Structure 1
Amino acid sequence: MTADGVRSRLGMSFLGICGMLLLYILFFSLEDQRPGHTPQPRPLSQGHPPQPHPPTVSFGGTLKPPTPDLPKPPPPPSEPPFIGDHYAQDDLEPLSNCSTGIWQRIMGTVFALEASLAALNSSASRRMCDDWATRGRGSACIRCAVVGNGGILRGSRRGQEIDQHHYVFRTNGAVIEGFEEDVGSRTSLYTFSTNTMRNSLVSYASVGYTGPPISEETRYVFLPDHDRDYLLLRAAVTHQPVDRGPERSKRPPTYFGEHVTAQKFKMYHPDFIRYLRNRFLRSSVLKTQYRDIYRPSTGAVMLLAALHTCDQVSAYGFMTPDYRKYSDHYYDNQFRPVGFFINHDLRLEMSLWQQLHQAGLIRLYMRP
Structure 2
Amino acid sequence: MISMTGMKLRRKLVLALLTAGSLLCVYVLCVNLEGSWSIEPLRNFHGFSQKPNSSSRDSEEPQDRRNSSERWSRPSPASTRHPEHPSAAALQKHTPAHTPPPTSETQTAAGPQAAAGATSKSEAVGGTWSSNPTPPRSTEPAFIGDTGYMTEDVPAQTNCTDGVRGRVAQTRFSGRFLGRVPVLQWANHVSRDQYKRLSQYSGAHGWSGVDYDTLVETLSVLNSSANWLLLDDWSRRSNGSSCSRCAVVGNGGILKDSGRGPEIDSHHYVFRTNGAILKGFEQDVGSRTTHYTFSTNTLRNSMASYAGLGFTGPPLSQETRYVFLPDHYRDYLLMKAAATHTAVERGPERAKDPTRFFGQDVTAEKLKMYHPDFVRYLRNRFLRSGTLKTRNKFIYRPTTGAVMLLAALHSCDQVSAYGFMTPDYKNYSDHYYDRKYRPVGFFANHDMRMEMTLWQQLHQAGLITLYMHK
Q: Give the TM-score normalised by the residue count of structure 2.
A: 0.58
Matches within 5 A, 1:1-368: 77-79=43-45, 80-81=139-140, 83-87=144-148, 111-249=213-351, 251-368=353-470
Cα distance in 1 for partners of 2:374, 2:148 equals 9
Question: CA distance change for structure 1 residues 251 and 360 in 2, over 3 Å: closer, same or farther?
Answer: closer
In the TM superposition, residue 137 of structure 1 has moved relative to its aligned partner by 1.6
Q: 1:309 aligns to what SS in structure 2? A: coil
5+ residue gaps, structure 1, are 1-73, 96-108
Deviations 1:54-102 (A, max 9, x none): xxxxxxxxxxxxxxxxxxxx9x94314472223465999999xxxxxxx
Amino acid at match of 1:119: V
Change (3 A) 1:365 1:219: same
Secondary structure at the aligned position of 2:394 is classed as helix
What is the letter of the counterpart of residue 44 of structure 2? S
Q: Name the stretch that deviates more: 296-305 or 246-255.
A: 246-255
* Secondary structure, counterpart of 1:274 in structure 2: helix
Q: How many angstroms apart in 2 are the aligned matches of 1:93 and 1:161?
A: 43
Q: More deviation in 153-162 or 131-140?
A: 131-140
Equivalent AA in structure 2 for residue 202 of structure 1: A
Distance 2:348 2:191 in 1: 37
**In the TM superposition, what is the alpha-carbon distance from 1:117 to its structure 2 partner?**
0.7
The answer on whether the counterparts of 2:249 and 2:272 sit within 8 Å (CA) in structure 1 is yes
2:403 is paired with a residue whose SS is: helix
TM-score (norm. length: structure 1): 0.73
How big is each residue's C-alpha offset from its partner over 1:221-264, in whole Å with a ceiling of 9 and x where there is no partner?
00001000000000000001101000001645421111211100
Q: Which amino acid aligns with 2:452?
A: M
Secondary structure of the residue aligned to 1:191 is strand
Superimposed CA distance per residue, residues 313-349 of structure 1 (whole angstroms, 9 cap, x where no aligned partner) = 0000000000000000000111100001110000000
Letter in 2 for 1:84: G
Task: Name the aligned partner's letter for residue 85 of structure 1.
Answer: D
Task: Measure, in 2, the Cα distance between the counterparts of 1:77 and 1:342.
Answer: 24
* C-alpha separation in 2, matches of 1:358 and 1:93: 41
Q: Distance in 1 between matches of 2:192 and 2:341?
A: 33
Contact 2:249–2:285 (8 Å) recurs in 1: yes
Which amino acid in 1 is paired with 2:459?
A: H
Q: Whole-Å Cα distance in 1 between the matches of residues 449 and 372 of structure 2?
A: 23
Alpha-carbon distance in 1 for matches of 2:259, 2:384: 34
SS at match of 1:324: helix
> Counterpart of 2:357 in 1: which secondary structure?
coil
Query: For residues 255 and 236 of structure 2, what CA distance do their matches in structure 1 show?
Result: 31
Task: Tell me the SS of whatever aligns to 1:306.
Answer: helix
How many residues get paired? 282
CA contact (8 A) 1:119 1:262 kept: yes
The structure 1 segments of at least 4 consecutive aligned residues displaced by more than 3 Å after TM superposition are 87-95, 250-253
Distance 1:222 1:354 in 2: 26
The structure whose Rg is larger is: 1
Q: Which region of structure 1 is more displaced relative to structure 2, 78-87 or 297-306? A: 78-87
CA contact (8 A) 1:357 1:364 kept: yes
- Asked whether the 8 Å contact 2:334–2:354 carries over to 1, the reply is no
State whether residues 214 and 333 of structure 2, in contact with CA within 8 Å, keep that contact through their aligned partners in structure 1.
no
Residues 77 and 182 (structure 1 numbering): CA distance in 2 closer, same or farther, change over 3 Å? closer
Could you say what secondary structure the match of 1:224 adopts? coil
The letter for the 2-side match of 1:179 is F
Root mean square deviation, CA, Å? 2.3
| Alpha-carbon contact 1:125-1:263 (below 8 Å) kept | yes
Between the aligned partners of 1:325 and 1:343, the Cα distance in structure 2 is: 24
Offset from partner CA, 1:276-311 (integer Å, 9 cap, x none): 000000000001111011000000000000000001
CA distance 1:129–1:296, change in 2 (3 Å): same
Secondary structure of 1:170's aligned partner? strand
- 5+ residue gaps, structure 2, are 1-39, 46-138, 151-187, 194-210
Q: Percent identity?
A: 67
Q: Which has the higher contact order (CA 8 A, sep 6+)?
A: 2
Cα deviation digits, residues 178-212 of structure 1 (max 9, x gap): 00000000000000000000000000111110100
Q: Secondary structure at the match of 1:178?
A: coil
**Aligned partner of residue 361 in structure 2, secondary structure:** coil
How far apart are the structure 2 equivalents of 1:110 and 1:211? 30
Rounded Cα–Cα distance in structure 2 between residues aligned with 1:93 and 1:241: 26
